Amino acid sequence: MKRVQPSGAQNRKKKKARAESDAQQRGALDAWVRPRVTSSKPITEAAEHAEENETQPEELEDHGSNGGDDRDQASSESFHEDEDLVQDEASRPSTSDDCMMQQHHHDSDFDADIQSKKTSTCSDTCIQNKDFGFLQKPISDALRVEILKLGPECFQNKNAQFCETEGRSFSATWFSKTATNESIERKWLLYSPSKDACYCFPCFLFQGEGNASSFSQEEGFCKWRKLNPRVPDHESSSAHRESVRQYLTLSLSLKGHATIDDSVQRQLDQEARQWEAVISRVVEVISFLAKQNLALRGHRGENISNIAQENPTANPGNFLATIHLLAKFDSTLDQLLTTAKPKTVTYLSNYTQNEVINLLGESVRNVIISEIKQAKYFSMMFDSTPDLSHQDQVSEIIRYVHIDYDSNTVQIR
């Protein structure tokens, strides 16, 4: 029978090879990326010294590879790779350019991941706060469609408090104009309370980053003393009219279900509404059981196969039993339990239950902390007691005076 895992001697040999490779690589990039100023040798001599090291493959082969240490480390730490493959990877020489290239690719992937997460967070903040100042370009097609469904009126913030800058501020009168004794609404004009700037709804969504108009940039337009010429000029510009045409075309297509991916989009929307209904029912059941101080499941409730209730006589726990009870009168839960299969998403597992409990507990904790911060009088008491493992368990008790000014009542909590 072939050995699956390497022996202890092989592991020690690989560990020694990694240590020698790390020793060879230590400070190898300083001559190329960040030269030492305190060194007595000039930069050119350091570069020539590095080139001389690269022309000695015999020494590099004796000590293992001086580059590609990420690849060597990944292969040596995997217990399911063949020994010959590990030795071939360890003995392959590489240059400092390879290390720089690997570091560059790693940094690029990391920066792209950070930028993607940052863009997603900014878009969620924009929709939650109804503020265009949180948006960042480029805007994805999915986000553009979601914003179009909300409409420009949702982001205008007509009743916001306009900040004053250099003695001037934005005014709500700019949201409309008078033409032939008739008031016409400027639905394209938006105000951002977070950046104290104005934006153009269609231009921001459909124009690129190279557009010269401030109304379509991330910074927005905030020169309030130039509102009089800039707003009418932008409204009558050809670029603004083209953006309005694209905005109206896409809006009519979405309303008339005439887009190319309309059937797919409607299916996704229906599926999203279905899962939203399922999660709302799950949260309500967990909240009810938590308020009644009832356990959600027992030690046998960790198995997700209880969802299908293969054994009707078994007790699946309070949570799943309540779900099965509600499914008799609710079509959403009944469809979920009917189509549920092992290893599929149902949001009924013990992991989902624990996550919802943690979120509910965090919400309650935040409310209590906010009330304590507003209270004038509060007290704290700590008590500790050892458990069966002789570890002290500390309990914290906080009492505070809560004043409800609406009902003029005082409570000690």
Q: Are residues 224 and 244 in the same domain?
A: yes
Q: 259-263, 374-378, 402-406: lowest mean pLDDT where?
A: 259-263
Q: What is the mean pLDDT of residues 39-53?
A: 44
Q: Are residues 236 and 278 in the same domain?
A: no
> Which string of DSSP letters, residue by residue, matches 128-178?
HHT-GGG--SSPPHHHHHHHHHH-GGGG--TTS-PPEETTEE--GGGGEEE
pLDDT tops 50 at residue 223: yes
Between 29 and 388, the more confident residue is: 388
- pLDDT digit string, tens, across residues 105-137: 444 554 545 555 555 566 677 777 788 888 888
Task: Please tell me the distance from the alpha carbon of residue 88 to that of residue 331, in angstroms, as a whole number.
Answer: 61
CB 94 within 8 A of CB 23: no
pLDDT band at 261 (very low <50, low <70, confident <90, very high): low
Q: Are residues 268 and 250 in the same domain?
A: no
Q: What is the mean pLDDT of residues 325-352?
A: 87
Q: Are residues 348 and 403 in the same domain?
A: no
Between 45 and 370, the more confident residue is: 370
Inside any domain, residue 72: yes
Left (φ > 0), alpha (ψ -120 to 50) or beta: where does 280 sit? alpha
Q: Are residues 246 and 277 in the same domain?
A: no
pLDDT tops 80 at residue 150: yes
Q: Are residues 138 and 251 in the same domain?
A: yes
Q: What pLDDT, on a 0 to 100 scale, did the predictor assign at position 119?
A: 54
What token pair was written down for 169? 């501020």
Q: How far is CA 281 from CA 120, 278, 344, 349, 361, in A?
A: 27, 5, 18, 14, 18
User: Could you tell me the residue range of the domain that residue 186 belongs to?
Assistant: 130-255
CB 283 within 8 A of CB 328: no
Q: What pLDDT, on a 0 to 100 scale, did the predictor assign at position 283?
A: 93
pLDDT tops 80 at residue 280: yes
CB 250 within 8 A of CB 242: no
Inside any domain, residue 234: yes
Inside any domain, residue 113: no
Task: Please tell me the distance from the alpha carbon of residue 22 to that of residue 4, in angstroms, as a whole number.
Answer: 27
Q: What pLDDT, on a 0 to 100 scale, did the predictor assign at position 106?
A: 47
Q: What pLDDT, on a 0 to 100 scale, did the predictor assign at position 29?
A: 58
Q: How far is CA 12 from the centre of its chain?
A: 41
Q: What is the mean pLDDT of residues 144-158?
A: 85
Q: How many domains does the chain have?
A: 4
Q: Dihedral, CA atoms, 95, 98, 103, 109, nearest 10 degrees?
A: -170
pLDDT band at 140 (very low <50, low <70, confident <90, very high): confident
- Give ∠ CA 106-108-113 in degrees, rounded to 5: 95
Torsion over CA: 59, 62, 65, 66 (sign): negative
Q: Which range has the top average pLDDT, 75-79, 177-181, 272-276, 304-308?
A: 272-276
pLDDT band at 76 (very low <50, low <70, confident <90, very high): very low
- Mean pLDDT in the chain? 75
Inside any domain, residue 19: yes
Q: Point out the domain boundary residue: 234, 255, 276.
A: 255
pLDDT band at 406 (very low <50, low <70, confident <90, very high): confident
Q: Are residues 333 and 395 in the same domain?
A: no
Least Cα distance to 157 among 189, 125, 181, 182 occurs for 189
CB 399 within 8 A of CB 413: yes
Percent of the chain with pLDDT strictly greater than 70 = 69
